[in-house]
Chain A
Amino acid sequence: MDRQVDVVVVGGGSTGCGVVRDLARRGLDTVLVEKGNLTHGTTGRMHGLLHSGGRYAVSDQKSAKECIEENMVLRDIAAHCVEETGGLFVKRPEDSEEYFQEKLEGCKACDIPVEVIDGEEARRREPYLARDVEKAIALPDGAVDPFRLCVSNAADAREHGARIETHAPVTDVLVEDGEVVGVEIEHETGPGKRVHHEPGTTEEIRARHVVNATGAWAGNVGGMAGVDVEVRPSKGVMTVMNTRQVDTVINRCRPKGDADIIVPHETACILGTTDEEVDDPEDYPEEDWEVDLMIETLSELVPALEDARTLRSFWGVRPLYEPPGTGTEDPTDITRDYFLLDHGDRDDLPGMTTIVGGKLTTYRMMAESISDHVCEALGYEATCDTADAPLPGSESEARMAELMDEFGLRSPVARRSGQRLGSRADDVLDEYDPNPIVCNCESVTRAEVQDAIGEAGSDLNAVRLRTRASMGNCQGGFCTHRIAAELAEEYPEPVVRDAEDELYQERWKGQRHALWGEQLSQAMLNHLLHATTMNRDGDPASLDGEVDFGAFDAGPESPDAADTDESGSAGTAAADGGRADDDAATDGGR
């Protein structure tokens, strides 16, 4: 294991993917390692807002200016990841007029194009807005799909010679002679794509420079190298609504606070968020009051949310950072700016750079600045072209009408496929005929699922992130098995089975926080369907011990017995697969 590459980037979130793309395009030999699938950490757990900068226009004008600049860049280079929804900062009667004016002035100072509209006009644009919303500032917020964005960056990097290694946690940072010389990774046994190595093996990747882009986990990687990186992870909840109550990003125009944004994202709306410091980015409580707070507070802006169907909730951890000694008490006051930590200068440990803080909207700018820094450290000269070169999928507009005709897709299906795949739509859809729909809720066809399997391997959660399959209102109840079936041709049965379970579990995880009303009914229907048709409540094939077939009843005995009470209960027992009173053995004692 003595192969040496130019740069190892640790972390497959937006920053890491951005950096590896940038470096690869500059011609450096680069490897990206990620412990889960791409966007596994914070990137995959954000609300999908493409900032116009409006949110920071009062408190942090530097960030605001960067946001509006990068906002415009992403509309160009990542058109298929961005939906140009526009955004509103709305003012309710109890919100401060002074702050509204400050916000307006701030936006103007940061060159964010704004328009002030009255409440009537705001409701004309968004009919579900509360009737007492007084006025609003309209600005170019948007929605961005972080999964698609990261995947496109990684794909572009790979096209330029980079190696992308997922499901490969860093187990050690190699330090020799007071210098970082690479990392050791472990290839996990999960059902992910393992391009180069067998599961369970470790590998040393030696590199001239290591970039630690692990966000909230930066402290862990830093620790392996023996340096302190004082990230202050802060959790925030996001709640996903089944349909779009609004088609515009709605922000509450007030200084700061929880639950002040609604982002229309694909078929759903995402409500956000809270801001609470946690000790461990992997282990923190997910509390119901946070979800309640989202719905209650944001109903003040969009009352329909109160009764609307909630699909799930998830939590993300912000990689907040502040230079040692700043000592900010409230995490909401910690700057959203990013910091580049050169451990050579800082800790006298050359060969590694850590990047922390920042936000998805400015990922490309951060990547450019860290790539500049790495090139300088390596004495390598190359120019950055990531602001101009479109990402794969955004080279041209998808031709919606032609997709329908050519591939026989129904119009909403063609529209969604086109929006997800962008300029790749032709190539992807061309592969399969017939091309049935695998996920009905999100209109994902077999061709798209197969394309994602081709890229992501047997990790169905990675397939989900690429395609949105199983992210609709049934939350996988009607499609996890269909998606898994698409693996069956290529992968052995146990892998398929594990992949299916993993996807189903993941879908269940978020639904736990939405178990009331319609989603509770959906979850019960899903469970019953899976329990009765796939034995998910106790699949004998997944049990350790032998199945005690003797515990099953023999069915109705004879017509004579039909009148007795016993035969009635025997029938019931048969119907639920032999799980009558005392036969815990059949379901493995679960």
Chain B
Amino acid sequence: MTRHTEDDDAGDANGANDRSGDREGGRENPGRGGCGCGEPAPGVPQAGRDEQPSVFVTDGGDVPEADVTDDRDAARTGGESTADRAATDGGVESASGGTESATGGTDSAELDPEAYDPVDVFPGGDLDLREGADSCYKCTSCDTSCPVAEVDDEFPGPKFQGPEQWRLKRKEDHDIDESITSCSNCMRCDDACPSSVPLSQMHNEARGQYVERQMEKLSVEYIRNRILANYRTSASLASMFPRTASFAMNFGPARWAMEKVMGIPKERDFPEFATETFREWWKARGGANVENSDKRVAYFHGCYSNYNTPEVGKALVSVYEHFGYEVMVPPQKCSGTPMFANGMLKDARRHAETNVENLVEAIGEGADVIASCTSCSLSLRQEYPELFDLHGIEDLAEHTFEALEYLRIHENLEGELDAAGGLDDERAFAYHAPCHARNQGLSRQAVETFRDVDGVRMEDVGDSCSGISGTYGWKEEKYEKSMEIGAEMFEHMEDAEGEVGMTECPTCAMQMEHGTGYEIEHPLQLLEEALDA
């Protein structure tokens, strides 16, 4: 699958990417393993295999030697010829591309006609997702599960945004309905669809096309969205002077001005910036305390754990080291979640290049990738392979896990928690499962993990959406709706016994705090406490 490129004149010899392979790897097979378990896609070097052949070939075992060599060669040539295009993908045909084929090869005589591979792109590198409409039966489960459609009568719902709008498209049609900007990208529709329509992929692509082509680039809305989407940039600036920033960002007159000028609702409190970021702490600590080449994880902390809640990252490190893991913290940028939600696909791709490169390298060193934020893990697992065709992106998707999920798969958490004997003082929590956790099948993991732990009482506050959906609730025109969506969760939190909220998602946490005034913790913090790690 060919994805968004930084520049339109990409297009190299690595284009013969096997599409069916992408699919299986990307969406339907998020489980562990994957290295070497499938045939290598023709012409596309598998991540790790080409870069770290010693690790992956031995693991896979069944990879024919010839293929490995070919892959390595291909990688080398690909790398050289596209050096300044930094790991762009194969096969994106430029509009002005001249003689190279849309399918990526330069000489059809060498192509195996059996290895049929349509490149699903409209001219200019846009994805052609019309065939996704084939799976839709119009059953409308997606619309009934959409939290925005429930409160916003003007929003036509995911079925329209996805399969209907795509099916009505023609090659030369580029206008996307403006209502796509009202989708909060909670992705509940993906989960609701009984027929695997790639709804969020359709939405992301349509939103990207809308923002790229139809949105006024000097408009306040665009600039505001760009700033919101690039939270990492603002956060990294702010954490240079964390105390000043925390004060200034929430200073009354400043907030009034922000709402008037930028459309950022004054009701919301900006999160405080940590005086020491997670990475600063990690560096000062001297990195990992455990070295273990058999059990390695690469931690994708994301922006929020780094700049705002380093305690979550620290909890993760202590829990994982408790279980004997060597924690790596590779260089990384934003996972792209807020950028997808705002149609800033080029920004997301730029960040993804860094992330994929560094995380794939870590995978090559034997690590699996873990994230403490469920949106980050979903992005690496699902949105990355759906939207971009970066070298190694499928391998990354297969090797990425949410942090608690990973421990539940590989460790005897229950036993350890039992042995640790529970909490000394009883605590009660109101737990909210983020929509993006739901999409990864993780909505019950915190409740299940802690239900038998002495001294912990955890209540699930239901399956509604918190309403903030990342940046959605940070827009002045969406604020009311965001709170309306969240009302059910607030009410259930108030009813729950616990006075402390719990969730994996940082923006859900903001909304929970905003709506109830509760302190919000991350399950890893509780796990650290319960394990005495």
Contact = CB atoms under 8 A, between A and B. Distances in A.
A473 B133 contact: yes
A388 B117 CA distance: 46
A478 interface: yes
Contacts of B102: 120, 123-124, 127
A242 B167 contact: yes
Interface stretch (B176-184, B317-325, B472-480, B481-489): B176-184
Interface stretch (B92-100, B343-351, B504-512): B92-100
Nearest to B135: A518
Contact of A415 (B130, B138, B168): B168
A158 interface: no
B116 interface: yes
Contacts of A472: 167
A123 B136 CA distance: 27
Contacts of A373: none
B138 A477 contact: yes
B238 to A, nearest CB: 38
A40 interface: no
Contact of A473 (B93, B106, B116, B138): B138
B410 interface: no
B510 to A, nearest CB: 32
Contacts of B119: 127
Contact of A308 (B134, B159, B172): B134
B170 A244 contact: yes
Given A128-B118, A243-B167, A443-B168, A473 B101 contact: no
Contacts, number: 114
A495 interface: no
Nearest to A120: B101
A114 interface: no
Contacts of A242: 133-134, 167
B195 interface: yes
Counting chain B residues whose Cβ lies within 8 A of the other chain, the interface size class is 35 or more
Interface residues of A, number: 40
Contacts of B261: none
Contact of A410 (B111, B179, B195): B179
A477 B115 CA distance: 37
Given A242-B134, A247-B170, A518-B137, A415 B175 contact: yes
Contact of A411 (B105, B139, B175): B175
A121 B195 CA distance: 35
Nearest to A247: B171
Nearest to B113: A132
A525 B167 contact: no
Interface string A520-538: 0110010000000000000
Contacts of B101: 119-120, 123-124
B354 to A, nearest CB: 30
Given A120-B99, A410-B177, A525 B170 contact: no
B191 interface: no
Nearest to A522: B137
B6 to A, nearest CB: 21
A443 B168 CA distance: 8
Given A410-B156, A521-B137, A440 B131 contact: no
A440 B156 CA distance: 11
A304 interface: yes
A243 B130 contact: yes
Interface string B270-283: 00000000000000
Nearest to A410: B177
Given A416-B168, A440-B160, A521-B195, A127 B138 contact: no
A131 interface: yes
Contacts of B100: 120
A242 B167 CA distance: 8
B293 interface: no
A517 to B, nearest CB: 9
Given A243-B167, A478-B138, A521-B137, A411 B176 contact: yes
B173 interface: yes
A57 B93 CA distance: 33
B466 to A, nearest CB: 28
Contacts of A247: 170-172
Contacts of A465: none
B54 interface: no
26 contacts: A119-B108, A120-B99, A120-B100, A120-B101, A120-B106, A121-B99, A123-B103, A124-B97, A124-B101, A124-B123, A127-B93, A127-B121, A130-B113, A130-B116, A242-B133, A242-B134, A308-B131, A410-B179, A411-B176, A412-B164, A412-B177, A440-B138, A443-B164, A473-B138, A478-B138, A518-B137
Given A131-B115, A478-B138, 18 more contacts: A120-B100, A123-B101, A124-B102, A127-B118, A130-B113, A242-B134, A243-B131, A243-B134, A247-B172, A308-B134, A309-B135, A412-B164, A412-B169, A415-B168, A415-B173, A473-B133, A518-B135, A518-B195
User: Nearest 10 CB-CB pairs, A to B?
Assistant: A309-B134, A132-B113, A247-B171, A120-B101, A303-B116, A412-B168, A243-B130, A410-B177, A411-B177, A128-B118
